[in-house]
Structure 1
Amino acid sequence: MDTLSGKHAVVTGASRGIGLAIARALRDHGARVTLMARDAAALAAAAADLGGGTAWQTADVTDAASVDDAFARAGAVDILVNNAGQAASAPFSRTDAALWQRMLDANLSGAYHCIQAALPGMLDAGWGRIVNVASTAGLTGYRYVAAYCAAKHGLVGLTRALALEVAVKGVTVNAVCPGFTETDIVLDAVATIVRKTGRSEEQARTELAAANPQGRLVRPDEVAHAVAWLCMPAASAMNGQAVAVAGGEVM
């Protein structure tokens, strides 16, 4: 399990949910991990939970200066997992410019800022792994989340374009695209369905799980295992891919 020994991984949005599960999986494969998110207290608790001297740095991925400062403190990066993101729902007719920009900033520009900070060192070293946590919303459309879908489609496009640029430089760039996963984002979606439709929480969860042919929500550790695999030295032929982790929802 030490296939990533000697590698330094930075995971954004790492204080909980999918991000924390990814950090744990990378650590279990021998990587030294730095957690990044906005909430210092949550990061400290997550680092303590992981143990082993796990480092953390506060960073707002929507702010280039904040990202640059955090990465300067973290040091050279071998593996970057862009997991930070937000989801918000509204009919397109009620998607104002502020909501549109917030989804782009959190889900697309944040990854751009982090890649700008980490990629030069990877190119100098001749080795690197970048994994962008997108969504099945980056591969298909969903009602009432046009801004989120647009941002995640953009993230998949960024993944594919950058993968071609660095293909012969020892760096791979891939995306994982989870379906509805047991995270706070899905809890928020359940609460929204309950509030707007009058359905029970159980009915709302069943409705979301129905999108998955397996009839269930994805677990964070399942996404984490896919990310860890893409980071392995043996995965060097995996480049420019958008891997759906969704039970067959998107093929």
Structure 2
Amino acid sequence: MVGAVNQPTTAGLQDRHALVTGGGSGIGAAIALALVAAGARVTVLGRRLEVVQALASNQPERLHAVGADVADAGQVTTAFASARERFGPLAILVNNAGQAASAPFLKTDAELWRQMIDVNLGGTMLCTQAALPDMLAAGWGRVVNVASTAGLTGYTYVSAYCAAKHGVIGLTRALALELARKGITVNAVCPGYTETEILRESIANVMAKTGRSAEEARAGFAAGNPQGRIVQPEEVADAVRWLCGNAAAAVNGQSIPVCGGEVLK
């Protein structure tokens, strides 16, 4: 038992095949690189093929790029087939792809609502269904869903996004119980405001609507974190890497905030 407790956080990742959705930039890219550094072979999936190809070109022997919209079942099937052809069966899935859009609830139309649900929740469902047969056959697997603190609490003007991310947390908990005796764990990480393209878009939106400067808008987002700062993608990636390793084998069905204490569980 002592050996199990003291094993490195990367144990169990050597030559495992991981697929990271939304893997071309921000949190997804940080996760992909962290898993490669831990010894995994990683397929990075993104809507913009050229973006994930640029990342994969840095380490082509360990990284493979595929293009797909995670909300499109046909594209997901094709992308996962390409992943298996390159690196074999999947052992790890990181559902990171997501979109965020803001609007007052009464101005949230059906199209925006569907988009938030389809990408953030539907994409997680489709990709998990595509990956699970390999894990079940092997009797080992890791599914990590990158949710958000918006999956743990409410925020104004992002009701559709909050609903979708709360759905991801519910799916995480249900699947964790369903798969608990199959050697597969299902967990979520819930970042607060993180240095990503989504944050930059949010800052631009605040500037446009309020006339605040970029610095003032950024400070407003950082103020929500008790540490008074923006979370870095590498911090989220480190939590994901730990959940994927053997050291976290008993962690299942959990939603881990990475937010400096903004949300306390």
TM-score normalised over the length of structure 2? 0.93
Q: Which residue of 2 aligns with 1:248?
A: 261
Q: Which residue of 2 aligns with 1:135?
A: 148
Q: Which residue of 2 aligns with 1:188?
A: 201
Q: How many residues are aligned here? A: 251
Deviation at 1:234, TM superposition (A): 1.8
The whole-number CA distance in structure 1 between the counterparts of 2:140 and 2:62 is 24
CA RMSD of aligned residues (A): 1.0
Deviation at 1:72, TM superposition (A): 1.3
The whole-number CA distance in structure 1 between the counterparts of 2:199 and 2:115 is 18
Deviation at 1:40, TM superposition (A): 1.4
SS of structure 1 residue aligned to 2:182: coil
1:38-68: CA deviation from partner (whole Å, max 9, x where unpaired): 1111111111234544111111100011101
The whole-number CA distance in structure 1 between the counterparts of 2:81 and 2:138 is 17
Instruction: Determine whether 1:156 maps to 2:165.
Output: no
Task: Give the counterpart of 1:48 among 49, 52, 57.
Answer: 57
The whole-number CA distance in structure 2 between the counterparts of 1:111 and 1:88 is 18
Q: Which residue of 1 aligns with 2:125?
A: 112
TM-score normalised over the length of structure 1? 0.98
SS of structure 1 residue aligned to 2:79: helix
Task: Give the counterpart of 1:28 among 27, 32, 37.
Answer: 37
The whole-number CA distance in structure 2 between the counterparts of 1:52 and 1:247 is 36
Q: Which residue of 1 aligns with 2:252?
A: 239
1:175-219: CA deviation from partner (whole Å, max 9, x where unpaired): 000000000000000000000011111000000000000000000
Task: Give the counterpart of 2:211 among 183, 198, 205.
Answer: 198
One-letter amino acid of the counterpart of residue 172, structure 2: T
Contact 2:71/2:123 (8 A) holds in 1? yes
Q: Which residue of 1 aligns with 2:4?
A: none
Contact 1:67/1:113 (8 A) holds in 2? yes
Deviation at 1:25, TM superposition (A): 0.5
Contact 1:24/1:50 (8 A) holds in 2? no
SS of structure 1 residue aligned to 2:142: strand
Greater shift after overlay, 56-65 or 212-221? 56-65
Contact 1:21/1:221 (8 A) holds in 2? yes
Task: Give the counterpart of 1:60 among 61, 65, 69.
Answer: 69
1:130-159: CA deviation from partner (whole Å, max 9, x where unpaired): 000000000000000000000000000000
Which consecutive aligned stretches of 4+ in structure 1 deviate over 4 angstroms post-superposition?
none
Q: Which residue of 2 aligns with 1:222?
A: 235
1:89-121: CA deviation from partner (whole Å, max 9, x where unpaired): 000010000000000011000010000100011
SS of structure 1 residue aligned to 2:172: helix
Which consecutive residues of structure 2, in runs of 5 or more, have no partner in the other structure? 1-7
One-letter amino acid of the counterpart of residue 156, structure 2: R
1:66-102: CA deviation from partner (whole Å, max 9, x where unpaired): 1011111211100000000000000001000000000
1:17-54: CA deviation from partner (whole Å, max 9, x where unpaired): 00000000000100001100011111111112345441
One-letter amino acid of the counterpart of residue 120, structure 1: P
SS of structure 2 residue aligned to 1:49: coil
